[in-house]
Amino acid sequence: MSSPSPLHTQTQSSSGSIVHDVFHAYRLNVPASLQVIDAFLCYVLATGIIQLIYAMSVGSFPFNSFLAGFLSCVGVFVLTVSLRMQLSERNLKDPNNRWQGLSKKRAVADWLFCNFILHMAVLNFLG
Amino acid sequence: MRLPLSLLLVAVFSSIIAAAFQGQSNVVLVVFEDQVMLKTHSRFVDSLKAIGKTVEVKQANSESFDLRADGEYVYDSIVLLCPTATKMERKLSLDSLVRFVDAGHNLFVAAGHGYSDYTSKVASSIGVDLDYKRNKMTDHQQPFQSLDDGSHTIIRAGGLVQSKYLFGDENIKASDIVFSGPGATLFTDNELIDKVMWGSGSCYSTDDSRRPLSKIPRVAGAASVLAAALSTRTESRASYFGSIDTLSNDAFDKAGKKHEKALTSFLAWTVGHAGVLRTRNLVHSSIDDSGSLANEFRVKDTIKFSIDVQEWDGGKGVWSPYVADDMQVEFVMLDPWVRERLHYSGNENGTYTATIPVPDQIGVYKFNIQYFRPGLSPIVLMKVVPVRPYLHNEYERFIGMASPYYASSFSMLIGVFLLGLVILYGNKGEDGEHAKAD
């Protein structure tokens, strides 16, 4: 990427180029494993929103099923964000980070265990 | 030794049961004022014999009126044709009469000009408030000419309940019936009594019909009660008729056949010859295949409700089907949630059926039939049934509308599994490159 010329100041740079810059910086700086996690988080978020729109449009009739489906998205999202925080190198460099003594494998094991409990509840509640 | 004893017991019990089904007694006690009335009112009383009753006649000055023998009532009905008799209270107390009616027996009381306090009390005990004893109903517009002496106190009735049960024929007109005696009104606190015959618009009560009125009459017009009928909650009946004079043979001759038929029918109705209803075989079942329990329904069920309604046919002495199109059954939880017409099925048991959709509301309901018609014994019937929600295994296993939720839950599960594989095994090399780059 060429450095912007003095004529192209902040006012000149379009919003499209900002998004492009941010995305480029993200691809460059964030490890691939975290990028996979971020993609998964986007998928979970989209699924949750779609369910919410569906329930608002057709009604809340099997309400337990709706709660199970929607809360499984919320739960997975929260757990996966927690996992991402523990896997991020930048967080590990922070001296105040309380996960510093823990291994990444342990973080993944915690994440899987929590997901196991979450989905037991979800499948029970799904009806 | 024991076998004959038990046989005897069986015989005794079966005769008791048979007696209970046929009614305790078929004897009617008729109380006259004196020997003369026995002759002048013979046709009215003989009409009871014609419908198969045994008549026992007593005079008001008889020594005793023992209604009970061995703890049971001797009589089926009492007919009081003694409006002016005094000293009755001690022999046949008001209290014993009320208990007699409460126990399921019938009472007919006739009033007349100059009635006694006793008659007034008997009438008020069934809900009839008599006018002053010196007053007579007077009608200058349409007196009954062939018996009139110029005082216009022998009048024609102005209206009556058109009922074949009460007066024997639906086509009997009010003007066929001749009346001479005091007017009356009904007490408002007795909801079971109905006025069945009333005065014309031009009649009023006065003690001297030849003088103009000086004060407002206590009873006047269509509000004046000439005859009233009470159907009690114990399926007994009590009737009032205000004119003893027009029940005589002489009056029957002069007033005509319709007058005689209406009043003898009214007496026959009082002693339970006509218009007696009974209900049998209340059956309710679910049409849907929901219930393992017979007396329990599920919300949104459909109930098939049936009941036999039968009418006593006095002429043949059998119960025959009662045919009507105005009966209904309610399905009540505080308020009626469903009200359905009962349809006669046409069979010889008088079976009525209705299809009741159970509302989508759990709770304790009752079937309720309240059927009050003039001349017919009231039908008041309630049966409590619970309505339960769906059991957990009565829902559909999979609901089509919930399929997006199923899909999302399983996609989360699979997604977590795949992401786990990627994190643990898939990205070691790239991670290594980034580590080097860092």
DSSP string, A49-101: HHHHHHHHHH-SSSHHHHHHHHHHHHHHHHHHHHHHHHH-HHHHH-TT-TTTT
How far is residue B80's CA from residue B78's CA, in Å, rounded to a whole number?
A: 6
Answer whether B399 sits within 8 Å of A65, measured CB to CB: yes
Answer whether B404 sits within 8 Å of A51, measured CB to CB: yes
Given a cut of 70, the residues of chain B with pLDDT beneath it are 1-25, 289-294, 427-438
DSSP B281-346: EEEEEESSTT-SSTT-EETT-EEEEEEEEEEEETTTTEEEE---S--EEEEEESEEEEEEEPEE--
Instruction: Look at residue B413 and tell me if it is in a domain.
Output: yes
B165 and B287 assigned to the same domain: no
Q: What is the ipTM of this complex?
A: 0.85
Q: Give me the pLDDT at residue B16, please.
A: 42
Q: Give me the pLDDT at residue B171, please.
A: 83
Q: Nearest-CA distance from B402 to chain A in Å?
A: 6
Q: Which of A106, A57, A102, A112 is nearest to B401 (CA)?
A: A57
How far is residue A70's CA from residue B210's CA, in Å, rounded to a whole number?
A: 95
Q: Give me the pLDDT at residue B15, please.
A: 43
Three-class DSSP labels, B20-71? HHCCCCCEEEEEECCHHHHHHCHHHHHHHHHCCCEEEEEECCCCCCCCEECC
Q: Which of A119, A120, A124, A125 to mutate to test the interface with B (most CBs of B within 10 A)?
A: A119
Q: Give me the pLDDT at residue B13, please.
A: 46
Instruction: Look at residue B5 and tell me if it is in a domain.
Output: no
Give the CA diameter of chain B: 138
The tokens describing A109, both together, are: 């094991």
**CATH number of the domain bearing residue B304:** 2.60.40.10
**CATH number of the domain bearing residue B187:** 3.40.50.880
**Number of domains forming the structure of chain B:** 3
Q: Give me the pLDDT at residue A113, please.
A: 96
Answer whether A61 sits within 8 Å of B404, measured CB to CB: no
pLDDT in tens, A77-106: 999 999 999 888 888 787 787 777 788 889
Show me where the domains of chain A are located: 32-125
**Residue A14, pLDDT above cutoff 80:** no
pLDDT in tens, B364-393: 999 999 998 888 988 999 999 999 888 888
Nearest to B405 among A66, A111, A115 (CB): A66
How far is residue B409's CA from residue A62's CA, in Å, rounded to a whole number?
A: 14
- Among chain B residues, CA nearest to A120: B413
How far is residue A44's CA from residue B232's CA, in Å, rounded to a whole number?
A: 75
Place of tokens 């009507």: B324
Under a CB-based contact definition with an 8 Å cutoff, are residues B272 and B377 in contact? no
Under a CB-based contact definition with an 8 Å cutoff, are residues B107 and B228 in contact? no
B304 and B182 assigned to the same domain: no
Q: Give me the pLDDT at residue B434, please.
A: 45
Answer whether A50 sits within 8 Å of B430, measured CB to CB: no
B257 and B347 assigned to the same domain: no
B180 and B266 assigned to the same domain: yes
Distances (CA, A) of B211 to B91, B135, B137, B148: 40, 13, 14, 17
Answer whether A80 sits within 8 Å of B419, measured CB to CB: yes
B407 and B388 assigned to the same domain: no
How far is residue B351's CA from residue B308's CA, in Å, rounded to a whole number?
A: 4
How far is residue B138's CA from residue B406's CA, in Å, rounded to a whole number?
A: 88
Number of A–B residue contacts, CB under 8 Å: 93
Q: Give me the pLDDT at residue B342, please.
A: 94
Total number of residues shown for chain A: 127
Q: Give me the pLDDT at residue B292, please.
A: 55
Under a CB-based contact definition with an 8 Å cutoff, are residues A71 and A106 in contact? no
Portion 80-119 of A in contact with B at CB < 8 A = 80, 83, 87, 89, 105, 108, 111-112, 115, 119
Instruction: Look at residue B13 and tell me if it is in a domain.
Output: no
Under a CB-based contact definition with an 8 Å cutoff, are residues B226 and B95 in contact? no
A54/B contact by beta carbon, under 8 A: yes
pLDDT in tens, B22-54: 444 689 999 998 888 888 999 999 999 988 889
B261 and B321 assigned to the same domain: no
B298 and B361 assigned to the same domain: yes
How far is residue B53's CA from residue B76's CA, in Å, rounded to a whole number?
A: 9
DSSP B359-418: PS--EEEEEEEEE--TTS--EEEEEEEEEE---GGGS-SS-GGGHHHHHHHHHHHHHHHH
Strand partners, B311: B277, B320
Under a CB-based contact definition with an 8 Å cutoff, are residues B120 and B94 in contact? no
Under a CB-based contact definition with an 8 Å cutoff, are residues B75 and B28 in contact? yes
Burial track B9-37 (b if 16+ CB lie within 10 A, e otherwise): eeeeeeeeeeeeeeeebeebbbbbbeeeb
B118 and B83 assigned to the same domain: yes
B263 and B333 assigned to the same domain: no
How far is residue B158's CA from residue B379's CA, in Å, rounded to a whole number?
A: 29
How far is residue A76's CA from residue A87's CA, in Å, rounded to a whole number?
A: 16
Instruction: Look at residue B7 and tell me if it is in a domain.
Output: no
Q: Which of B335, B359, B355 is nearest to B345 (CA)?
A: B355
Q: Give me the pLDDT at residue A5, please.
A: 47
Residues of B in contact with A36 (CB under 8 A): 419, 422-423, 426-427
Sign of torsion, CA B334 B340 B345 B346?
positive
Answer whether A73 sits within 8 Å of B399, measured CB to CB: no
Q: Cα–chain-centroid distance for residue B218?
A: 30
- Among chain B residues, CA nearest to A80: B416
Q: Given B270, B294, B321, which residue is the final one in a domain?
A: B270
Instruction: Look at residue B246 and tell me if it is in a domain.
Output: yes
Instruction: Look at residue B203 and tell me if it is in a domain.
Output: yes
Residues of B in contact with A31 (CB under 8 A): 430-431, 434
Q: Give me the pLDDT at residue B399, please.
A: 86
Q: Specify the DSSP class assigned to residue B201.
A: T
Average pLDDT, chain A: 86
Q: Which domain holds residue B319?
A: 277-392
